[in-house]
């Protein structure tokens, strides 16, 4: 999830001090695309490891005089009078954090993590932390961050086993989730790199005596093309550290040994015994947060939960006319009923024709890699459809995917844990593009507050505008990786929710993609939004450019992706059974449904639609399933009783993370004139 990177420079390397400082800046800025909520690094010189970390973005940290002065002084320690070449070896590992476990305002939760004799940077999520601490009562938990348990288990193994490859094998065998890590030891003269997903790339110039690693091929490729780094990596080619593989690197670059921890190595030539030394770890992080840093912090604390009066009457009991064949209500945009009460959607329904696996195979064969290199990019939310889709693409189609997530601040920790589960188990690289999350959340807050001043159902999608750039970044990722095939695993025919555009006056409820809407409907949406901006000037705020970017990404940017469920059947029961049984896929605590649980905005906008219009996305999905013969009308009604129950825990999280008063918002929503009559 986060960005990790590092440099190893041997003694006597002709690398100037300013070059090291500049290369670090470049690596931080490139890695920041994967996380902007905290940053830090560890520097090893002689037998001392210096750790510096702050709870802000790398860009903010790099601008502070404290960072520049402190890091410059430390790097100077590996030079003597001759500043043109190193007098001592130097090892640096860095981290740009996307917060998952452990709030970033608590210094110990930020990376590099210090525990015992280890200092580590970690990209990924370990999901079985509590189970491991319950199993091993002899190790004590100090922090909230998941990386800690990996270091505890590793050091526990090292206490009884002198072979590092066996220790790392045993550690990864215990871990459930995704891990790409770099670890320094105060009592060992080595750097350990290991990954179970393949999200590590390295570059080594033996002649110059310099080694580097980073989380993505694009990052390491861009780094070695950087004018300063190009001098030292001019003849080097980056390579991937494959899933369940690693490197053990001498801090002086005397050796670089490969590890294979997919199974215990018993071959003597692969084993590396541990030779302990005396060393120390010194935390030099700023103790007082500067004004510059304080300004960028967002209070993550959850406010105490107040009593909130929610409108939670089951949809089936509303005094509202519904289609006699499906469940769509009279409040659905563009709906019409015949004399028998059957809606126009049912009357015009034509079963969606699955193109079939054979057609899919023909399509992907021209992209399929014969060498094991990545051959497709899978858009990956961590939801049920994309999780099953990734399973199918890897296990059934035998493709070599890279997964891609655009995190705009509303990807929940639940979704991230589920992403880690499947990527770790399948050994699939996960590329995460992180927005400036604090800004994105600020934009949502401003638009929610603007909407509450003049509520309108057609404007509800503006809350989700910040998410739509994932289409744009999918295009960008193609360019960066050179992988042309992009597969989306969402958007089955049953999950089409064009009613959101219907509240803007659109008439298209057939096409599955936004870019397929007619020019007429796209103009309608644009004009509708312009009218709302004029009548409610509060929408004219700092989010405006971001919203325009979302409109471009959604309605204008060319959509030429493959949609998996256009080719294979979508079976809700099979999907849920597969992801739960094979990957221990996690459900939310506040709902029985498995749909939309990884999307932080869904509980809020569905509450609005359900309260004001008498239906939500779930009514539409269940109606589509009834129409296709998957469910009976009675079965669908029973499911809606749970589907449409307001998710108080998720609503509270959304309000806290965005920063608005939920109680006030709910009162306003509840007071909006309904499109139906209550019993």
Is the distance from CB of 3 to CB of 32 less than 8 angstroms?
yes
Instruction: Examine the domain organization and report whether 334 and 193 are in the same domain.
Output: no
Vertex 464: Cα angle to 463 and 468 (nearest 5): 145
For residue 89, the tally of other CB atoms under 10 A from its CB is 22
Instruction: Say how many domains are in the chain.
Output: 2
Q: Is residue 309 part of a domain?
A: no
Query: Is residue 137 classed exposed, middle or buried when 0-12, 13-18 and 19+ CB atoms within 10 A define those classes?
Result: exposed
174 and 94 belong to one structural domain: yes
Smallest Cα–Cα separation from 260: which of 247, 269, 272?
A: 247
89 and 198 belong to one structural domain: yes
Please compute the mean of the pLDDT values over residues 298-314 and round it to a whole number: 51
> Would you give the distance in Å from CA 291 to the centre of its chain?
30
For the full predicted model, state whether its pTM sits above 0.85: yes
CATH, residue 586 = 3.40.50.620
Span 262-303, pLDDT tens digits: 765 544 444 566 778 889 999 999 876 544 444 444 444 444
Going by DSSP bridges, is the β-strand pair 190-195/239-240 parallel, antiparallel, or unpaired? unpaired
Q: What is the pLDDT of residues 150-200, one digit of tens each?
A: 999 999 999 988 788 889 999 999 999 999 999 999 999 999 999 999 999
Please name which of 145, 150, 219, 149 lies closest in space to residue 432, comparing C-alpha atoms.
219
Q: Indicate whether 277 and 322 sit together in one domain.
A: no
Q: Please tell me the predicted confidence (pLDDT) of residue 123.
A: 94
> Would you state the structure tokens that stand for residue 251, as one six-digit string?
């801090």
Q: Is residue 295 one of the residues assigned to a domain?
A: no
Model confidence at 522, pLDDT cuts 50, 70, 90, reads confident
Mean pLDDT of 561-580: 93
Asked whether residue 500 is domain-assigned, the answer is yes
Winning range, highest mean pLDDT, from 20-34, 306-320, 463-477: 20-34
Residue 371, token pair as written in the block: 């060498």
pLDDT at residue 317, rounded to an integer: 59
Lowest mean pLDDT among 224-238, 510-524, 598-612: 510-524
pLDDT higher than 80, residue 100? no
Condensed to tens digits (0 to 9), the pLDDT of residues 242-257 reads 999 999 999 999 999 9
Q: Are residues 333 and 224 in the same domain?
A: no
Shared domain for 244 and 372, answered yes or no, is: no
Query: Do 492 and 414 share a structural domain?
Result: yes
Confidence of residue 436 (pLDDT cuts 50, 70, 90): confident
> Residue 556: what pLDDT?
80
Residue 672, helix vs strand vs coil: coil
The fraction of the chain above a pLDDT of 90, given in percent, is 69
User: Is residue 95 pLDDT above 50, yes or no?
Assistant: yes
Same domain for 249 and 336, yes or no, is no
Task: Give me the percent of the chain exceeding a pLDDT of 70.
Answer: 90
**Residue 679 belongs to a domain:** no
Domain shared by 131 and 271, yes or no? yes
Tally of CB atoms within 10 A around 75:
20
Whether residues 515 and 378 fall in one domain? yes
- The CATH code of the domain that includes 162 is 3.60.20.10
Is residue 19 included in any domain, yes or no?
yes
Gap between the Cα atoms of 550 and 544, Å rounded = 10
Which tokens sit at 83? 């500043």
Residue 417's domain comprises 315-671
Same domain, yes or no: 492 and 599: yes
Whether residue 36 is contained in a domain is answered as: yes
The pLDDT of residue 514 is 46
Give the chain's mean pLDDT. 88
Tell whether the model's pLDDT for residue 316 goes beyond 60.
Answer: no
Q: Is residue 293 part of a domain?
A: no
| Complete DSSP assignment for 324-358 | SSS--BTTSTT--B-TTS-BHHHHT--------HH
Chain centroid to CA 315? 33
Domain boundary among 286, 305, 335: 286
Q: Tell me: do 506 and 578 sit in the same domain.
A: yes
């Amino acid at each position: 999830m986060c960005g990790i990177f590092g440099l190893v420079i041997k003694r006597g390397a002709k690398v100037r001090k300013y070059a090291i400082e500049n290369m670090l800046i470049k690596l931080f800025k490139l890695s920041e695309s994967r996380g902007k909520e905290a940053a830090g690094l560890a520097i090893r010189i002689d037998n001392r490891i210096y750790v510096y970390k702050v709870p802000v973005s790398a860009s903010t940290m790099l601008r502070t005089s404290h960072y520049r002065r402190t890091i410059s002084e430390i790097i100077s320690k590996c030079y003597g009078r001759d500043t043109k070449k190193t007098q001592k070896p130097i090892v640096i590992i860095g981290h740009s954090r996307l917060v998952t476990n452990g709030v970033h305002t608590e210094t110990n939760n930020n990376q590099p993590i210090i525990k015992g004799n280890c200092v580590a940077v970690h990209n990924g999520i370990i999901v079985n932390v509590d189970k491991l601490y319950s199993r091993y009562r002899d190790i004590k938990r100090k922090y909230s961050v998941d990386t800690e348990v990996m270091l505890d288990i590793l050091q526990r193994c090292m206490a009884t086993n002198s072979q590092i490859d066996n220790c790392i094998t045993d550690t990864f065998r215990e871990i459930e989730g995704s891990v790409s890590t770099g670890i320094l030891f105060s009592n060992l003269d080595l750097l350990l790199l290991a990954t179970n997903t393949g999200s590590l790339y390295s570059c080594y110039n033996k002649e110059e005596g310099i080694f580097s690693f980073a989380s993505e091929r694009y990052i390491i490729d861009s780094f070695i093309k950087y004018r300063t780094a190009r001098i030292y990596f001019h003849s080097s080619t980056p390579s991937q550290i494959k899933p369940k593989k690693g490197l053990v690197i001498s801090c002086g670059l005397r050796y670089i040994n490969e590890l294979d921890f997919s199974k215990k190595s018993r071959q003597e030539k692969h084993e590396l015994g541990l030779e302990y030394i005396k060393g120390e770890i010194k935390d030099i992080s700023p103790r007082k947060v500067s004004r510059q840093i304080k300004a960028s912090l967002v209070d993550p604390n959850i406010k105490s939960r107040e009593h909130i009066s929610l409108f939670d009457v089951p949809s089936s009991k509303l005094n509202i006319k519904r289609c006699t064949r499906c469940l769509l209500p009279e409040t659905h945009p563009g709906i019409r009923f015949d004399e028998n009460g059957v809606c126009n959607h049912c009357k015009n329904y034509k079963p969606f024709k699955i193109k079939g696996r054979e057609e899919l195979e023909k399509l992907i064969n021209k992209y399929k890699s014969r060498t094991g290199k990545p051959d497709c990019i899978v858009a990956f939310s961590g939801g049920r459809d994309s999780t099953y889709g990734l399973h199918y693409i890897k296990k059934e189609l035998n493709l070599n995917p890279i997964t891609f997530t655009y995190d705009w601040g509303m990807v929940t920790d639940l979704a991230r844990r589920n992403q880690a589960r499947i990527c770790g188990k399948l050994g699939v690289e996960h590329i995460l593009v992180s927005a400036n999350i604090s800004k994105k959340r600020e934009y949502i807050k401003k638009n929610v507050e603007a909407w509450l001043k003049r509520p309108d159902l057609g404007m509800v999608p503006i809350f989700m505008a910040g998410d739509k750039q994932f289409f744009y970044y999918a295009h960008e990722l193609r360019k960066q990786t050179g992988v042309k095939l992009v597969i989306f695993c969402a958007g089955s025919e049953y999950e089409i929710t064009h009613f959101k555009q219907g509240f803007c006056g659109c008439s298209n409820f057939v096409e599955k993609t936004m870019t397929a809407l007619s020019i007429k409907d796209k103009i309608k949406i644009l004009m509708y939004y312009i009218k709302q901006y004029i009548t409610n000037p509060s929408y004219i705020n700092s989010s405006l450019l971001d919203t325009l970017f979302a409109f471009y990404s959604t309605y204008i940017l060319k959509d030429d992706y493959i949609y998996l469920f256009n080719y294979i059947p979508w079976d809700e029961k099979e999907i849920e059974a597969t992801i739960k049984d094979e990957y221990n896929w996690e459900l939310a605590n506040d709902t029985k449904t498995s749909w939309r649980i990884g999307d932080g905005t869904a509980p809020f906008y569905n509450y609005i639609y359900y309260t004001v219009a008498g239906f939500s996305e779930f009514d539409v999905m269940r109606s589509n399933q009834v129409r296709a013969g998957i469910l009976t009308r009675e079965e669908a009604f029973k499911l809606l009783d749970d589907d449409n129950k307001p998710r108080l825990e998720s609503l509270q999280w959304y309000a806290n993370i965005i920063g608005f008063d939920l109680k006030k918002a709910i009162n306003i929503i509840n007071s909006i004139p309904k499109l139906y009559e209550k019993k």
